[in-house]
Amino acid sequence: MATKLDRNTLPAKHGRDDFEAFGPVVVADTEWGSCRLADLGCFCQDEGVNSNKYYHLAVVKSKVDGKFYAYYEWGRTRPDGRPEKPAFQFFECSSEADAAAICEKQFHAKNTKRGVWQKTGSKERLVPKPKSKLGKDGEVLTHDLYAVRPLATRLVGLPCAENIANEDAQGVNGGKKKTTKNTAKKSSKSKVDTQTRKLFADLMGGVQTYSKAFLGSSGGPVTLPSQIAIDYARELLDDAMSRVGAIEQGMKSSTTEKKLVAAQVADAQLKNITKLLYARIPKAVAHNADPADSILNTSNILTWQNDMDVLETALQGADMDVEESTTDHLQGIPADVHWVPPSDSLYKWLVGSGDGWWSKATRGQSGVRGSKGLKVHGLWAVERHGDRARFRSSQERILGEMPKKWNEERPLYAEMKRPDLNIAERKLFWNTNSSLLFHGTRSVNVPGIVRENLRFPKELTGVVVNGAMFGPGSYFADDWGKSAGYCSNCRSGRGSYYGGGGEVQGRRAFMFGFDVILGVPHVAEGSQGFRGAPSGTHCVFGKFGRTRSWGSSTLANNEWIIYVKGHCEMRYLAEVEW
């Protein structure tokens, strides 16, 4: 028999540090099994107030008297990510099995019994169970479902549970987090230039700072979602993308963007997907946040995807466990990166004294303040391991698909005789319409892009979202001013369209140079959610002065979109200011 202690009361002669917690940790809804710890999350919107709540369950053993206890902790999460007046409860138990049974019963009460399995997006998912009563306006009300929230680290619960992670809990006899050592080869400090070492130290520091702010912590430890949670979140975002596309197709083409977003925010499926997303990822959210900002819709899905990339980089960085003397400055990133000094011929071609190819590649029509003048504060050559071979293989294949006559649409500033290519490569590049193009991104996303390259969705859903008006492909520009609109604000404070935020303290903005295979481009008539390049073509081309933008106006700058992995290769990274 278990003895229930008073709420918010520790066992006699015990402090919060006098307990030992264990794994395994619950990783799936409704499945307790032989687990000994569970983290749950619940996102709800009651009368316009956002609440991101949590529930923590753990079997713990006293270091003082050797007794087993069942431990509950619950509360709301503040907008800054910390628990808001959390409550807790101890049950003194006769055995470990007794404590596990009590935790399991509460787990099912909060999770299994409050949900119903439903086809949501691509999978059967546990979603909040509808209540028997309807709301004042006839809307369907749902129970507060606490979904499983897989964590790598946590700020909730007793201190002994802090570092027990879902993927690597050692079970009842271990009770400690496995240490996953990074197996990267030792880096010889003499072979790594100072500029590159400093760059990635600053970028990874920015990733950690951004992740803490995203999760509500201004400093110190943070509740970090596990890789399981991040992968699940990406699936939910893909499902949300599909649902947004279905809503778009069901509305008139003349519908305004405002009405489209309103329809998405009111959609029951998107509400459920949003609840599951916040349940897995403990993002900080203001209690009075606008539903259009919190519920997944056209305006925020791309930002969420970028944020998951940052969290994954933060998680991978946190897993690093190597001695300072052998620390890999790239933290396991599979790429060769080196700084290009101004005296190098490559730098002189690309940058020069403001008169290099990169610097001059703009029409000055982007609308980015000061876009007629670009200052490059650092240039790095980047080669991801294995990408060169894949890219060349794709070029050879597309060379065989190029017709004798095609529309001859090539990027602005394309050079036939690039000095960074040999004679054979120049011919291959020209004949496959391959070109060096720009890709702007938030500074905190740079390490993740170098690690993974540009991500392509598992399914090319035909949908238009903010920042991706031609569907979920990889976007490039032949005018650096266009790409600047996707970068974090540079240190001078000059803004961008979509980059907003994600700056790294002490650094400017960052922009990539990618080699991209364009082959035969399809010139788009207007914004459209392409699932891929139309038959007989290899990319989609949004052409300035011809292709219609969101409204009736035409694009001010070219956009080039590819939808196939292996059709782009990262070549350069520049730290810029405009």
pLDDT digits (tens, 9 = 90+) for 293-349: 888 988 888 889 999 999 999 988 765 433 333 456 677 789 999 999 999 999 999
Note the pLDDT of residue 170: 37
**Cα(200)–Cα(380) distance, integer angstroms:** 12
Mean per-residue pLDDT over the chain, rounded: 86
Note the pLDDT of residue 135: 67
C-alpha radius of gyration, the chain, whole number: 26
Note the pLDDT of residue 153: 82
Q: Name the nearest CA neighbour of 20 among 6, 36, 39, 41.
A: 36
Confidence of residue 142 (pLDDT cuts 50, 70, 90): confident
C-alpha distances in Å from residue 102, one per residue of 31, 90, 548: 15, 11, 61
Confidence of residue 258 (pLDDT cuts 50, 70, 90): confident
SS3 567: coil
Query: What is the mean predicted confidence (pLDDT) over 178-194?
Result: 50
Q: Name the nearest CA neighbour of 374 among 482, 477, 503, 475.
A: 482
Asked if residues 576 and 379 have their Cβ atoms less than 8 Å apart, the reply is: no
Q: Is the pLDDT reported for residue 48 higher than 60?
A: no
Which residues touch 448 (CB under 8 Å, ≥6 apart)?
A: 207, 309, 310, 312, 313
Which residues touch 194 (CB under 8 Å, ≥6 apart)?
A: none
H-run or E-run covering 328: none
Which residues touch 336 (CB under 8 Å, ≥6 apart)?
A: 382, 383, 385
Asked if residues 39 and 148 have their Cβ atoms less than 8 Å apart, the reply is: yes
Which residues touch 69 (CB under 8 Å, ≥6 apart)?
A: 11, 19, 59, 60, 61, 62, 90, 91, 92, 93, 99
Question: CATH 3.90.228.10 residue ranges in the chain?
Answer: 333-577
Question: Would you give the distance in Å from CA 78 to the centre of its chain?
Answer: 22
Note the pLDDT of residue 168: 46
Chain segment 439-471, per-residue pLDDT in tens: 999 999 999 999 999 987 665 566 777 778 898
- Candidate ranges 97-111, 221-235, 355-369; pick with highest mean pLDDT: 97-111
In the sheet that 559-562 helps form, which strands lie side by side, from edge to edge? 474-476, 559-562, 539-542, 521-523
Domain 333-577 CATH class label? alpha beta
Which residues touch 462 (CB under 8 Å, ≥6 apart)?
A: 245, 471, 528, 529, 530, 531
Q: Is the pLDDT reported for residue 169 higher than 60?
A: no
**Cα(566)–Cα(386) distance, integer angstroms:** 10
Residue 65's identity, in one-letter code, is D
Tokens 């032949």 — which residue? 478
Note the pLDDT of residue 468: 81
Q: Is the pLDDT reported for residue 219 higher than 80?
A: no
**Cα(94)–Cα(153) distance, integer angstroms:** 29
